[in-house]
A = this chain, B = another copy of it.
């Protein structure tokens, strides 16, 4: 999972980032709303943690604005004195709120809860051209056939599907699929892309090679 933390208190921010990294997540930090906008325009996050009191503006306005354009879950961080605003906050489109100070166990639990709620029973299938990819079930449906994927193929396709159209390098893919200390050759990715292609071809899903750079998933 990839997090964006928007928080101007440097000390707190560092602690949170450290903890998220420790848990094996990717995490970026923005100290201002302007920075946050920058990050959001270049990367693709799973969850945003947003402090509402920031030097260059009110986080809540940012929230409405943000909600209008994206569907990225947000957990709002507020000081205890602002609790009364919580209903407003939730109305503005936050998925949850957390009052400072909080402990990390609680933060993690909330994150998990939000991510689960988002991706849980609401069946998040991903449309890939004619085909329908269901990561939770590990299947792809097209026409009237259902085809099953195995572990690695599944996770690889998941990465591609969440970054449809973007070019992903082999090293990026290795980072997403394998644990840090695993020593894996880039050839492994080539092999898996090949296996995926063979299965996805009939479904009209293509993984294009961008020579020297990486791969890109396209649908017809």
Q: Which residues of A contact B (CB under 8 A)?
A: 40-42, 44, 68-71, 86-87, 90, 96-97, 105-106, 109-110, 113, 116-117, 134, 136-139, 148, 150-152, 154, 165-167, 208, 210-213, 216
Contact = CB atoms under 8 A, between A and B. Distances in A.
Nearest to A208: B148
23 contacts: A40-B109, A41-B109, A42-B109, A44-B116, A68-B86, A68-B90, A69-B97, A69-B110, A69-B113, A71-B117, A134-B165, A136-B167, A137-B165, A137-B167, A138-B167, A138-B210, A139-B165, A148-B210, A150-B211, A150-B212, A151-B210, A151-B213, A152-B212
B216 A151 contact: no
A211 B151 contact: yes
Contacts of A96: 69
A86 B109 CA distance: 31
Contact of A166 (B105, B136, B152, B210): B136
Chain multiplicity (copies)? 2
Contacts of A167: 136-138
Given A105-B41, A105-B42, A154 B213 contact: yes
Contact of A137 (B136, B148, B151, B166): B166
Contacts of A117: 71
Nearest to A40: B109
Contacts of A90: 68
Nearest to A139: B165
Contact of A138 (B97, B151, B152, B213): B213
Nearest to A86: B68
Nearest to A75: B69
A105 B210 CA distance: 31
Q: Which among A42, A109, A208 has the highest number of chain B CB atoms within 10 Å?
A: A109
Contact of A70 (B97, B106, B113): B113
A107 B136 CA distance: 33
A104 to B, nearest CB: 11
A41 B154 contact: no
A95 to B, nearest CB: 9
